[in-house]
Each structure stands twice: as structure tokens, then as C-alpha cells.
């Protein structure tokens, strides 16, 4: 029996860290299932008052498996546990795979009220991919239809994904675009930036996209296959198929704002906004279904104090999605603060 002990990243805030052990077990369980790692037990243990995630398996973790595990949101360090004849445990560090295309600091630079915890965002991105028919080796296209200032996009960029966002408010789109342009210049990425109208018959209906192409150096930028893209549309989540091509995306990942407006309305001619995730999803999922590839996955988180989990199931299944709801997919609910209890749904497009 081989035992691996994973030290969790110390960067979690206090409230999130209190729940992050169970969340980490769920993310690890999904990764092991994807990789077909036969594990005996996944659990939280303490050694000398230090908390670890324990993975027991009959086999030595392969280099390929380590590449996947290194990407998990909670990974700080991985150790191989060895027990001597006196039942004393010694830990041998296991080298963690370096996978970052863009430095992971990018999602931590911007600080603002209402920002989603970067580790939680990374976990949603991982679970989306690990639950899909695709892998990190594919050229992944990721969409966040409620993108805010782009945390989900930045986490996808770290993996080298092509990322796209939709945000109804003009100000965060402008701030994201200005921040990212400065980042590319500061870090000396070869890049281009473009802003253009992509939808609307007149000025009052005009929808604009900010789009960047970038590579780590000039040589890569000359090759279309080595260029990466980030785009942000100042538009509505429920009009996504007006902005992007059919079957364009492998993953759709978004963290719905907690109790604030999302820019949808049951009256399509109205400019009023809704605080109701059910209403937003009812309007949006037919559009998201069009632009998501078969085998792709939607992961949407929300505040369960606003609406219970089971009430969102029907709107996904009515649009042809298969909800993944066995363990650990039904075990990610956790408190954020006294007014926010967060959960997410993982739904797959199977046909």
C-alpha cells in the first residue's frame, strides 16, 4: 500500500479553509476517477497538528497522474509517506509538475469587493474539465458568462486555455481590459488588442467585444496554434449564442453574484435585472447549449440561501443536460459568510 500526503495551500482565507478539506477530498475524488486511480481511501488526517489530505493506493502514482494532481486547486506540496518498523512516519517530497502557461499570480493581483476566492474558482475550472470528455492536453475553450472582472478567465489562462467572458456591466469590462493590457506589457508578452462591435443593428443595441491574442514570445506568436486568446463581451449571459459560435466551448464556468443582479429579465424587452439564479438559467441555458460542445460541462455556483439546489435541476434537464449528482458532486455546499452558503451544479452535455 502506498500513501501520499498532500499539504493544502495556506493561501485560503480563514472561513474558506475551515471547509476546504471536504472540498479538497471531493476534487481529489473526481481527479482519481478521471485518471482511473484505484484508491483505497481518501481522508483528512493530522500529523503533529498539521492537516493533510491522505491518498492510499495500491500503485505508485505515475508521472502522467502527477501532472493532473499537481493542477488541483488545493495542492501546496505532495509527500510520499514511509512508515518504519517502529511505526514512525517520514515524508519524502514528490516533485510537483510545473504547468503554468501564465503565472498564477495574475488572478490574485486585482482586489475588489465581491471577488470570488481564487482557489474556489480554480476548483470549479478543474472539476469542469475533469468531468468532461476532454483533457488538459486539448486546446480548451472556456467561457464565463457572468465574468465580472475575469477571475475565472485568469485561472483558465494559467492552464493555457483560450478564455472568453460575458459581463453586463461596462465598468468591469473596461477595468479588466485595461488591467490585462498592462499585465501583458509589463510581463513582456507578445500581443495584440482589438475592440469591435459583434452584435446589434444600431448604436443603442450595439454589443462590443474586447479581444486579445498573446504568446510568451514573438516566435510562438507567429504560429496560430501557439497563440492564446482572451475576450470579454459587454453583453448578456442569456444572449451568449449571439456572440459566440455554435459548439465553440468545451467548458462553461461561472460564479453567479450572490444576491445582486445578473442582467436577465423575463421580459426580453425590459432593461430590468434579476436577482434570481433560476430565472437567469432558464433564459440562458438554451443559448449555452448551442455554444457548448458535446461532452462539455457547465459548472455554475450560486448562493443557496437564494434558491435551493433541487429547484435548479429541472431547468438543466429540460435543456438536455445530464446533472452529475452522485458523490462527491452532491457534497460541495459550504458557508462563505453568514449570508452566503455556496454550492455548485455540474451538468454535462451528452448529446
Return the sign of the alpha-carbon dihedral for residues 253, 302, 149, 18.
Answer: negative
Q: Do both 237 and 182 map to the same domain?
A: yes
CATH number of the domain that residue 46 is part of: 3.30.70.1510
pLDDT of residue 11: 63
- Residue 100 domain-assigned? no
Please tell me the total count of domains within the chain. 2
The residue assigned the cell 421580459 is 267
CATH number of the domain that residue 232 is part of: 3.40.50.150
- Residue 181 domain-assigned? yes
Answer for the pair 150, 170: CB distance below 8 angstroms, yes or no: no
pLDDT of residue 14: 61
User: What is the three-class DSSP state of 296?
Assistant: strand
Q: Do both 239 and 329 map to the same domain?
A: yes
Q: Do both 168 and 214 map to the same domain?
A: yes
Using the 3D structure, point to which of 46, 64, 94 is the last residue of a domain.
Answer: 94
- Residue 290 domain-assigned? yes
pLDDT of residue 270: 35
Residues 126, 348: Cα–Cα separation, whole Å: 14
pLDDT of residue 265: 43
Q: Do both 111 and 60 map to the same domain?
A: no
pLDDT of residue 266: 41
- Residue 101 domain-assigned? no
Q: Do both 148 and 273 map to the same domain?
A: yes
Q: Do both 77 and 124 map to the same domain?
A: no
Q: Do both 160 and 243 map to the same domain?
A: yes
Q: Do both 11 and 90 map to the same domain?
A: yes
- Residue 25 domain-assigned? yes
Answer for the pair 343, 312: CB distance below 8 angstroms, yes or no: no
Model pTM score? 0.93
Q: Do both 134 and 282 map to the same domain?
A: yes
Using the 3D structure, point to which of 29, 59, 94 is the last residue of a domain.
Answer: 94
Q: Do both 54 and 201 map to the same domain?
A: no
- Residue 163 domain-assigned? yes
Sequential pLDDT tens for the chain (351 residues): 899 999 998 765 566 667 789 999 999 999 999 999 999 999 999 998 999 999 999 999 999 999 999 999 999 999 999 988 888 889 999 999 999 999 999 998 987 777 788 999 999 999 999 999 999 999 999 999 999 999 999 999 999 999 999 999 999 999 999 999 999 999 999 999 999 999 999 988 999 999 999 999 999 999 999 999 999 999 999 999 999 999 999 999 999 977 544 444 444 433 334 568 999 999 999 999 999 999 999 999 999 999 999 999 999 999 999 999 999 999 999 988 888 999 999 999 999
Q: Do both 235 and 182 map to the same domain?
A: yes
Q: Do both 77 and 217 map to the same domain?
A: no
- Residue 99 domain-assigned? no
- Is the bond preceding 328 in cis, omega lying within 30 degrees of 0? yes
Using the 3D structure, point to which of 73, 94, 115 is the last residue of a domain.
Answer: 94
List Cβ neighbours of 85 (8 Å cut-off, separation of 6 or more).
none
Structural domain boundaries, residue 43: 2-94
Amino acid at each position: 500500500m502506498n500513501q501520499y500526503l498532500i499539504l493544502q495551500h495556506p493561501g485560503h482565507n480563514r472561513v474558506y479553509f475551515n471547509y476546504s478539506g471536504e472540498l479538497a477530498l471531493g476534487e481529489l475524488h473526481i481527479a482519481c476517477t478521471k485518471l482511473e486511480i484505484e484508491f483505497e481511501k481518501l481522508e483528512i488526517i493530522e500529523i503533529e497538528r498539521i492537516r493533510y489530505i491522505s491518498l492510499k493506493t495500491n500503485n505508485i502514482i505515475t508521472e502522467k497522474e502527477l501532472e493532473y494532481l499537481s493542477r488541483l486547486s488545493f495542492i501546496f506540496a505532495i509527500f510520499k509517506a514511509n512508515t518504519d518498523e517502529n511505526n514512525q512516519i517520514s515524508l519524502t517530497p514528490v516533485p510537483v509538475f510545473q504547468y503554468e502557461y501564465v503565472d498564477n499570480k495574475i488572478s490574485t493581483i486585482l482586489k475588489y469587493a465581491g471577488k470570488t476566492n481564487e482557489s474556489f474558482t480554480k476548483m470549479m475550472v478543474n472539476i469542469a474539465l475533469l468531468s468532461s470528455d476532454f483533457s488538459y492536453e486539448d486546446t480548451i475553450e472556456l467561457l464565463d458568462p457572468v465574468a465580472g472582472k475575469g477571475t475565472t478567465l485568469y485561472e483558465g489562462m494559467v492552464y493555457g486555455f483560450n478564455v472568453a467572458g460575458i459581463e453586463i456591466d461596462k465598468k468591469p469590462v473596461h477595468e479588466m481590459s485595461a488591467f490585462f493590457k498592462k499585465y501583458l506589457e509589463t510581463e513582456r508578452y507578445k500581443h495584440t488588442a482589438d475592440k469591435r462591435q459583434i452584435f446589434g443593428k444600431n448604436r443603442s443595441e450595439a454589443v462590443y467585444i474586447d479581444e486579445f491574442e498573446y504568446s510568451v514570445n514573438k516566435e510562438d506568436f507567429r504560429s496560430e496554434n501557439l497563440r492564446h486568446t482572451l475576450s470579454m463581451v459587454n453583453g448578456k449571459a442569456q444572449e451568449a449564442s449571439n456572440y459566440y459560435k455554435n459548439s465553440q466551448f468545451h467548458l462553461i464556468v461561472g460564479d453567479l453574484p450572490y444576491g445582486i443582479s445578473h442582467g436577465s429579465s423575463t421580459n426580453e424587452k425590459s432593461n430590468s435585472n434579476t436577482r434570481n439564479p433560476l430565472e437567469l438559467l432558464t433564459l440562458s441555458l438554451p443559448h449555452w447549449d448551442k455554444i457548448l460542445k458535446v461532452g462539455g460541462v457547465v459548472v455554475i455556483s450560486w448562493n443557496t440561501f437564494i434558491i435551493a439546489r433541487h429547484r435548479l435541476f429541472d431547468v438543466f434537464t429540460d435543456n438536455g443536460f445530464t446533472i452529475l449528482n452522485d458523490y462527491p458532486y452532491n457534497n460541495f455546499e459550504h458557508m462563505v459568510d453568514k449570508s452566503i452558503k455556496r454550492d455548485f451544479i455540474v451538468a454535462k452535455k451528452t448529446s
